[in-house]
Amino acid sequence: MTTIYVFPGQGSQRVGMAADLFPEFPELVREADTELGYSIVELCTKNPDRRLGKTQYTQPAIYVANALHYFKLLRETRERPHYVAGHSVGEYNALLAANVFDFRTGLRLIKERGELMSQVVGGSMAAVVGLTLPKVEAVLRESGYKGIDVANINATDQIVIAGPRSEIECAERVFLDAGAARFLILNVSGAFHSRYMKRVKDGFQAFLDGFRFSCPQIPVVANTTAVPYPERDVEIKSSLAMQVVSSVRWKETVEYFLALPKPEFREVGASLVLTKLIQQMQRN
Amino acid at 24: E
Catalytic residue among 189, 193, 194, 246: 193
69: annotated active-site residue: no
Q: Are 68 and 21 in contact (CB under 8 A)?
A: yes
3-state secondary structure of 125: strand
91 with 223: CB under 8 angstroms? yes
Phi-psi region at 11: left, alpha or beta (left = phi > 0; alpha = psi -120 to 50): left
What is the number of H-type helices and E-type strands within the chain?
Answer: 11, 7
- Which of 88, 124, 247, 271 is an active site residue? 88
Rounded-to-integer distance, Cα 203 and Cα 57, Å: 19
Helix axes 55-77, 26-36, angle to 10 degrees: 160
193 is catalytic: yes
Between CA 172 and CA 178 the distance in angstroms is 10
Catalytic amino acids?
A: 88, 193
